[in-house]
A and B are shown apart, each in its own frame.
Chain A
């Protein structure tokens, strides 16, 4: 009897009931018909307990940090920096678009934010440079899915919480797949550049770049500290500092500081003034992912604390260094982030409630039997699951989809011997690519809004890029090492 909640749930979802209500109504009504009134109270309690969580708090914080960073100037800085690095290639601005997305992904965990921020700067610029508008919109949408794959990532926080995995492990596991998607897209741009004769661009857009003295000093110090940190990490062997840094570690770090300075001064002489300033202006924003990942890696912060520190850093930078924010902007930024995170938190709570009924109903066992009846070979099953996730991703946002499907599919594949972290990455990448897939892909609509190009037109132009992304999905699915190497290395996965 209780097993019927799953079809009821799916039907309600398809006819348009908000996911939050469907997650509660379907199990609730069947418990009621079953006369298990007491379990309905349990449903409510789990909704509450599901939201009452410390690890989950990283979600509003990362949203807030991204929002603050996004406020002013930062997008332009990232784009100019990317252009200085890759603008001279054929199909230059398309490459710049992809690289900006990769960098932006380290600041925000959202594909929508990525599309709207980068799209509004880059699509007009690409048009001026001789690209068609639909191509510009398509590459913006296609590259924005990197946002939730590279940490910090909203959906990975949700998945880790609902499934009881380590956020840090998922974050680390997402780095290489995210970069891989980016490289795949660049390869496709390269191919298209030959075919359609895509133009090159200037590396430096506006000559005579300026930088404030304070920011220059901040970048000066941060750069040297980062390079010294990397040198020290290489010196000790990466991964050996997962337990914290001792006195020797700090001494070596200090020793490497002058070395770092010398290296940077050498590079300094070989580049132009404008190039140097453009790079310097990207240092302060790009420090955010380094703080987050560095803090988690060294074991100084939990992800929640890292996210709060990221907010703090973002505030300091935008108020005092970049001066891109005013005190009066603060309430709006806070309200926007709390509005966006509250809906997700409610959903997560409802998913936890839903999950208890899922396990009461023996649905996973039945579903597992059915799925295993299709094939016993994990590789074939993974292939089928890829297709299922891809289709779901076309219709549903990544967050809700992961909330619904994680508890049902996760255990089945873990039993088959797929590592939970690997499976999490398969799900996340699959569902985020779904965000850019016609007919219902969310970022397509955002890209259409930003570019004023029809969704249908963008949908056609995006197809070659989607082909690349699907290829990368299969690569990630069947080569676990792509996702698992970094977290293993850092000691977050056995």
Chain B
């Protein structure tokens, strides 16, 4: 019963998160390039550029929003998991379920306020320095709206929400029918998930 939706959701998440991760690493690479440009222009050519600071932050926000959900899926969010591990199996799973529901409520609120934040009044403003220089190609110069930046966290919330539902289904599966196979999480082998 849970098996089918879990399988579908897991497949969807696998695709979405793969895309997210690939955009994220490119974003990190671009961040390095942008900051190096800034250093080069300021110290070598002696004329500071206006946009690298904001562009790099833009990229960092999107990197975070797009790759953090993968970390969540693979258990990379730091937690003190002594109690769930110390409890008997079933009790531990039930506790996990409660914790996942709490997380889900946080993410639901995150989606609501993220939507307001992104689509609201503030998102309409133009970024102070970011422009898409279409005028170089004969078009009109487009100013980047703050909304495009705000959307990074909203996207992150949405992906985390999907992952959270998948984790809930997985826990339910483990409680109700522990013998059935669960779909793969797409986690690469031997990837240490700790930051410090």
Contacts and interface: CB of A to CB of B under 8 A. Distances in A.
**Do A and B share a complex?**
yes
Interface of A: 12-21, 24-25, 28, 40-41, 43-45, 47-48, 51-54, 56-57, 60-61, 63-64, 110-112, 116, 148, 154-155, 300-301, 304-305, 308-309, 311-312, 330-331, 334-347, 395-400, 435, 440, 442, 446
B30 to A, nearest CB: 10
Contact of B77 (A18, A64, A154): A18
A82 B92 CA distance: 47
B128 to A, nearest CB: 13
Nearest to B69: A342
A110 B25 CA distance: 20
B63 A60 contact: yes
A47 B153 contact: yes
Most chain A beta carbons < 10 A, residue from B35, B38, B39, B195: B195
A196 to B, nearest CB: 32
B68 interface: yes
A70 to B, nearest CB: 11
A30 to B, nearest CB: 13
Best-buried of B35, B84, B109, B196 by chain A (most CB within 10 Å): B196
B194 A61 contact: no
The 3 closest A-B pairs by CB, nearest first: A44-B113, A308-B35, A334-B25
A40 B113 contact: yes
A475 to B, nearest CB: 23
Interface string B182-196: 000000000111111
16 contacts: A12-B102, A18-B77, A19-B78, A21-B77, A21-B106, A25-B102, A44-B113, A44-B117, A52-B57, A54-B56, A63-B195, A64-B28, A339-B71, A343-B77, A396-B78, A397-B78
Nearest to A396: B80
B16 interface: no
B61 A339 contact: no
Nearest to A350: B106
Contacts of B117: 41, 44-45, 48
A40 B102 contact: no
A63 B110 CA distance: 28
A17 B195 contact: no
Interface string B75-119: 011111111100000000001100100110110011001101100
B24 A344 contact: no
Contact of A16 (B53, B57, B95, B109): B95
Interface in B1-55: 21, 24-29, 31-32, 35-36, 38-39, 43, 53
B117 to A, nearest CB: 6
A340 B79 contact: no
B60 A17 contact: no
Do most interface residues of chain A lie in helix, strand or loop, or is the interface mixed? helix
B113 A41 contact: yes
Contact of B76 (A24, A309, A343): A343
Contacts of B36: 308-309, 312
Interface size class of B (residues with CB under 8 A): 35 or more
Contact of A57 (B35, B153, B191): B35
B67 interface: yes
Contacts of B99: 15-18
Given A339-B67, A397-B195, 15 more contacts: A13-B80, A25-B103, A47-B153, A48-B153, A51-B64, A57-B35, A61-B32, A64-B28, A64-B32, A155-B196, A304-B35, A312-B36, A338-B27, A338-B28, A346-B64
B28 A25 contact: no
Contacts of A311: 32
A57 B60 contact: yes
Nearest to B37: A308
A20 B113 contact: no
Contacts of B63: 60, 338, 341-342
Q: Name which of A47, A53, A312, A341 has the most chain B CB atoms within 10 A of its CB.
A: A341
A183 B53 CA distance: 40
A25 B82 contact: no
Contacts of A51: 60-61, 64, 153
Contacts of A343: 68, 71, 76-78, 195
Contacts of B169: none
A20 B77 contact: yes
B113 A334 contact: no
Contacts of A341: 63-64, 195
A330 B28 CA distance: 11
A435 B113 contact: no
Contact of A21 (B53, B102, B192): B102
B39 A399 contact: no
B78 A347 contact: yes
Nearest to A301: B39
Nearest to B113: A44
B163 to A, nearest CB: 12
B69 to A, nearest CB: 9
Nearest to B39: A305
A308 B39 CA distance: 9
A14 B83 contact: yes
A14 B95 CA distance: 12
Contacts of A347: 78
